[in-house]
Amino acid sequence: MTPPLYLIDRVPSGELAELTGPEAHHAATVRRTRVGEQLLLGDGRGGLAGCEVVEVGKELLSLRILTRRQVPVPRPRVTLAQALAKGDRAELAVEMATEAGVDEVLPWRAARCVARWDDGPRGAKALGRWRSTVLAAAKQSRRAWIPEVGEPVGTRDLAGRCADAGVALVLHEAADTPLADLSEELRDSEEVLLVVGPEGGISEEELLTLRESGARTVRLGPDVLRTSTAAAVALGALGVLTGRWRIGDML
CATH for the 5-70 domain, from 2.40.240.20, 3.30.450.20, 3.40.50.620, 1.10.10.10: 2.40.240.20
Please tell me the predicted confidence (pLDDT) of residue 247: 57
Whole-angstrom distance, CA of residue 60 vs CA of residue 52: 14
Predicted confidence at residue 250, as pLDDT, reads 43
- pTM beyond 0.95: the answer is no
> What is the C-alpha to C-alpha distance for residues 84 and 93, in angstroms, rounded to an integer?
10
Q: So what's the pLDDT on residue 121? A: 85
CA 55 to chain centre: 33
Q: What is the pLDDT of residue 219?
A: 93
Predicted local distance difference test score (pLDDT) of residue 251: 40
Contact 103, 79 (CB under 8 A): yes
Measure the CA–CA gap between 79 and 193, rounded to whole angstroms: 5
Cβ proximity of 100 and 145 under 8 Å:
no
Residue type, 37: E
- In a 10 Å sphere around its CB, with 0-12 CB exposed, 13-18 middle and 19+ buried, how is residue 142 labelled? middle
Q: Which residues of the chain have pLDDT under 50?
A: 249-251
AA identity, residue 213: S
| Structural contact between residues 104 and 85, judged by C-beta atoms closer than 8 angstroms | no
pLDDT for position 245: 85
Q: In this predicted structure, what is the pLDDT of residue 86?
A: 83
CATH number of 77-250: 3.40.1280.10
**Amino acid at position 179, single letter:** L
CA 38, CA 96: separation in Å to the nearest integer?
26
Predicted confidence at residue 223, as pLDDT, reads 84
In this structure, are strands 167-171 and 191-196 parallel, antiparallel, or unpaired? Answer: parallel
The DSSP letter of residue 179 is G
Closest CA relative to residue 43, chosen from 145, 148, 133, 138: 145
Nearest by Cα to 88 from 51, 129, 58, 131: 129
Report pLDDT for 35: 96
Residues carrying CATH 2.40.240.20, the chain: 5-70
**CATH 3.40.1280.10 domain position(s) in the chain:** 77-250
User: Residue 85 belongs to what H/E stretch?
Assistant: none
Total residue count of the chain as it appears in this document: 251
For the beta carbon of residue 146, count every other beta carbon within 10 angstroms.
Answer: 20
